[in-house]
Amino acid sequence: MLEPLTFPAGFLWGAATSAYQIEGAVREDGRTPSIWDTFSHTPGRTVGGDTGDVAVEHYHRYRDDVALMAELGLGAYRFSVSWPRVQPTGRGPAVQRGLDFYRRLVDELLARGIEPALTLYHWDLPQELEDAGGWPARETAYRFAEYAGLVAEALGDRVESWITLNEPWCSAFLGYGSGVHAPGRTDPAAALQAAHHLNLAHGLGTQALRAALPARARVAVSLNSAVVRALSQAPGDVDARRRIDNLANGVFHGPMLHGAYPADLLADTARVTDWSCVREGDLAAIQQPLDALGLNYYTPSLVSAAPAGGSSRADGHGASDHSPWPGAEDVTFHQTPGECTDMGWTIDPTGLHELIMRYTREAPGLPLYVTENGAAYDDKPDAEGRVHDPERIAYLHGHLAAVRRALADGADVRGYYLWSLLDNFEWAYGYSKRFGAVYVDYETQVRTPKSSAEWYAAVARTGSLPAAE
């Protein structure tokens, strides 16, 4: 018999969600529309015209949801704050009723011994700020810093773990490049400007958090952190890999971790933008000391130079005639060989190991967290109402084993957050894709832990992976 794979004592076992994907209650307690309300209500933008209007009613069911987390033995819960709930116009004083929801949620978590990890921005920009220019406008970065300070003042006494942005790549390049995410714009120059202003928002936001939070608070960012591989060792393919890697990773971790945009990224994108949006002092403002780095990983990308016919999978987020890769529109994306999840994303745990080891090298001394990892499957209750999802268990097992390997190789990974606690609104895919460890019946809102939830609870309880069946 194989030894179970044991994780270090104190390793954090968590699950993650985001506000717009689960809360619903979009018109309650002073909340105004975010770009995702507008986008999802625009015909043709989401599968089935689905919206987050109701989602899984977490806004009203949070107490039961936290009880469920406790039953599953979770040590940590990563959630996001809805900006338009606490600062409806994106300016001015906070709305107390909005903040009160998060105070109650956090208190409930703390009462159950579950560590809250708070993400400030998981894609739901107040619509008023989009109307004023959105992320391509510099002003939005200042607005974010103000918002970060308001939330820190309200919740800094009870939340220690803070994350500025979730996957700014998606906000910039799916939101303003391919347009498959809100606000649905398709302007490559605007996408690069958005990326810079998201970086600036992270830097200024981190400063605002430091000013408002007690010293024990920890500040991190959750990066998209793509694993990009070349189809062959031909020079064109290797160069395609380099360009995509810069547009996926370097554009954010360059300024955030090293205080500069990669010189070759600036050269590669010169015909799209002159980067005049980068002002003096910006890079110093963006490069803030961090306490941890969050990595979100689902699947690797495989690229080549020449159009190879075949695959047109550009980002795994739905079809668009517009590329999310400014200046690298010629690069072809291929399906990585192997089994896929219901998203069509190839299952490849070696990518997670590779990613962790890369950031171990590039950000020495910075503790790492896997802030998202998980899989969508077409789950259905059986005749007894139970939901069996052996594929998800296999996915989680494989990826946790990869984390364990990285630990053995010297990486400082402190925790893992499964995406997601609950089935929820999967952005452009609406409710057609289920990522939850807990099944949600969208008619009745009844929650049923899937077999993967029970499996994960055992992993969390024992701090070790069972030998693979």
Residues in 231-250 at the binding interface with ligand GBH, rule: CB under 6 A = 248
Minimal distance in Å, beta carbon 331 to ligand GBH?
10
Identified binder of ligand GBH from the candidate list 77, 377, 395, 419, rule CB under 6 A: 419
Binding marks (x or -) toward ligand GBH, 195..234, rule CB under 6 A?
-----------------------------x-x--------
- Greatest alpha-carbon pair distance for the chain in Å reads 64
Of 43-51, 164-172, 232-240, 251-259: span binding ligand GBH (CB under 6 A): 164-172
- Compare residues 7 and 431 and give the one whose CB is closer to ligand GBH: 431
Q: Does 301 bind ligand GBH (CB under 6 A)?
A: yes
Cβ count within 10 A of residue 123? 26
Tokens of 15: 């699950």
Identified binder of ligand GBH from the candidate list 148, 170, 208, 459, rule CB under 6 A: 170
- Partnered with residue 333 across adjacent β-strands are 303
Binding marks (x or -) toward ligand GBH, 261..300, rule CB under 6 A?
-----------------------------------x-xx-
Q: Does 412 bind ligand GBH (CB under 6 A)?
A: no
Q: Does 80 bind ligand GBH (CB under 6 A)?
A: no
- Compare residues 45 and 137 and give the one whose CB is closer to ligand GBH: 45
Binding marks (x or -) toward ligand GBH, 354..383, rule CB under 6 A?
------------------x-----------
Which residue in 138, 70, 143 sits closest to 109, CA to CA?
70
Identified binder of ligand GBH from the candidate list 316, 318, 381, 463, rule CB under 6 A: 316
3-state DSSP of the chain: CCCCEECCCCCEEEEECCHHHHCCCCCCCCCCCEHHHHHHCCCCCCHHHCCCCCCCCHHHHHHHHHHHHHHCCCCEEEEECCHHHHCCCCCCCCCHHHHHHHHHHHHHHHHCCCEEEEEEECCCCEHHHHHCCCCCCCHHHHHHHHHHHHHHHHHCCCCCEEEEEECHHHHHHHCCCCCCCCCCCCCHHHHHHHHHHHHHHHHHHHHHHHHHCCCCCEEEEEECCCCEEECCCCHHHHHHHHHHHHHHHHHHHHHHHHCCCCHHHHHHCCCCCCCCCCCCCHHHHHCCCCCEEEEECCCCEEEECCCCCCCCCCCCCCCCCCCCCCCCCCCEEECCCCCECCCCCECCHHHHHHHHHHHHHHCCCCCEEEEEECCCCCCCCCCCCCCCCHHHHHHHHHHHHHHHHHHHCCCCEEEEEEECCECCCCHHHHHHCCCCCEEECCCCCCEEECHHHHHHHHHHHHCEECCCC
Respond yes or no: is residue 372 known to be catalytic.
yes
- Compare residues 245 and 282 and give the one whose CB is closer to ligand GBH: 245
Q: Does 315 bind ligand GBH (CB under 6 A)?
A: yes
Minimal distance in Å, beta carbon 93 to ligand GBH?
29
Distance CA 154, CA 159 (A): 10
Residue written as tokens 């978590």? 109
- Compare residues 162 and 298 and give the one whose CB is closer to ligand GBH: 298
- Compare residues 225 and 273 and give the one whose CB is closer to ligand GBH: 225
Of 124-132, 165-173, 198-206, 260-268: span binding ligand GBH (CB under 6 A): 165-173
Residues in 4-23 at the binding interface with ligand GBH, rule: CB under 6 A = 18
Cα distances (angstroms) measured from residue 368 to each of 315, 371, 381: 25, 9, 36
Beta carbons of 23 and 84 less than 8 angstroms apart: no
Minimal distance in Å, beta carbon 202 to ligand GBH?
16
Q: Does 79 bind ligand GBH (CB under 6 A)?
A: no
Identified binder of ligand GBH from the candidate list 51, 140, 166, 320, rule CB under 6 A: 166
Minimal distance in Å, beta carbon 222 to ligand GBH?
8
- Compare residues 65 and 282 and give the one whose CB is closer to ligand GBH: 65
Q: List the catalytic residue out of 130, 372, 391, 426.
A: 372
- Compare residues 343 and 457 and give the one whose CB is closer to ligand GBH: 343
Q: Does 77 bind ligand GBH (CB under 6 A)?
A: no
Minimal distance in Å, beta carbon 95 to ligand GBH?
24
Identified binder of ligand GBH from the candidate list 108, 130, 167, 389, rule CB under 6 A: 167
Interacting residues with ligand GBH (CB under 6 A): 18, 166-167, 170, 224, 226, 248, 296, 298-299, 301, 315-316, 333, 372, 419, 426, 435
Catalytic residues: 372
